[in-house]
Amino acid sequence: SLQGRSKKRSRKHQRFMERRAVLEQKGLLSPHRHLGSRTTESGLEAHTTLTKANGTVALHCDKVPKPKRVESASLSPSASPDSIARHHSVLLSQGNGSSKKVRTSSLVLRPGKYVAIDCEMVGTGPQGRLSELARCSVVNYEGDVIYDKYVRPELPIVDYRTRWSGITKQHMKNAIPFTAAQAEILKILKDKIVVGHAIHNDFQALKYFHPKDRTRDTSQSPVLKKRAGLPVRANVSLKNLARYLLHKKIQVGCKGHSSVEDAQTAMELYRLVEVQWEKELAHSLPPRPPSPVTDPAADSSQYLDDQYWPTDLMASSL
């Protein structure tokens, strides 16, 4: 019967309490612990049981790690550049200047959000004065090459500019038409934050305009110039920035520049000052308009005021 079961349970509970009192008196058990129940301490669940061995009572605690709660990233891969910059700033203020949280939060975004680009041009048109795309290289945040192709200009090449571009007539044999290359490259750059040095020249060669808030030009970065000990308004080359800040030599020899190396160097420079760069960018962004939820004009609590109640209802309540 139910009464019989309850009596058995109560007697078991009395014996259990007596055993616990004995253990507490002998110092084998802390008074603050509750045996037979599940307790959580320091993220561990302790399962406590009592067993009899040779007439004595022994305490066994099997600690099982509690599964860690995985928090979702606060930024999605579709986050806009201004929200990314503001997120950097918020994390910096929370972390007392530490960049660890910023780097961790950006890992979700970097694989598909950050790329660096560099293009090599040749001369076309009258006396070869027009610059047209002949090679384009794109690397990801880690510096891995995700695009590198030679491109055949729309006009006949007058000057290969091999000393600087590294382009020769041999490279044009397997080059793809400009329109095909343009379509492939713009597909990669879509919705990306693009890093480059004097990047306006690359966009001009691609006949393309990338949004300014999604562009990181290392030639125009005050943070990089200050770190290199150069005047903010000075025109600084990628070669010198690499020498001053990365302690590496690029663009050496007579075979011309490597667009892959230049793109990788630009990304290295960006990563060197990424946190500070994004923080200053966040501060320079215009203030956002108030959210409809937090806007006082749209606050639903205002409808509790007397002016919104029907007059007949108000009269009946008096």
Q: How high is the pLDDT of residue 88?
A: 57
Q: How high is the pLDDT of residue 10?
A: 75
Q: How high is the pLDDT of residue 96?
A: 47
Q: How high is the pLDDT of residue 99?
A: 46
Q: Which residue has the higher pLDDT, 56 or 225?
A: 225
Mean local confidence (pLDDT), 18-35: 68
Is the pLDDT score of 121 beyond 80?
A: yes
Mean pLDDT check: name the lowest of 112-116, 253-257, 295-299.
Answer: 295-299
* pTM of the predicted protein model: 0.60
Mean local confidence (pLDDT), 118-138: 95
Q: Where are the alpha helices (DSSP H) in 65-198?
A: 81-94, 100-106, 110-113, 162-165, 178-189
- Domains along the chain with CATH numbers: 113-284 (3.30.420.10)
Q: How high is the pLDDT of residue 116?
A: 97
Is the pLDDT score of 86 beyond 50?
A: yes
Q: How high is the pLDDT of residue 190?
A: 93
- As to burial, measured by CB atoms within 10 angstroms (0-12 exposed, 13-18 middle, 19+ buried), residue 121 is buried
Beta carbons within 10 angstroms of residue 124's beta carbon = 19
Which residues are CB-contacts of 48 (< 8 A; sequence separation ≥ 6)? 33, 35, 36, 37, 39, 59, 60, 61
Is the pLDDT score of 256 beyond 90?
A: no
pLDDT > 90: what percent of the chain? 45
Question: How far, rounded to the nearest angstrom, does the alpha carbon of residue 185 sit from its chain's CA centroid?
Answer: 23
Q: How high is the pLDDT of residue 24?
A: 77
Mean local confidence (pLDDT), 296-315: 50
Is the pLDDT score of 284 beyond 70?
A: yes
* Distance between start and end Cα atoms, the chain: 59
Chain segment 208-226, per-residue pLDDT in tens:
999 999 999 999 999 999 9
Q: How high is the pLDDT of residue 5?
A: 56
Is residue 134 within 8 A of residue 150, CB to CB? The reply is yes
Which residue in this structure is represented by tokens 């192709």?
149
Task: Tell me which range, 20-29, 106-115, 181-190, is most confidently predicted by mean pLDDT.
Answer: 181-190
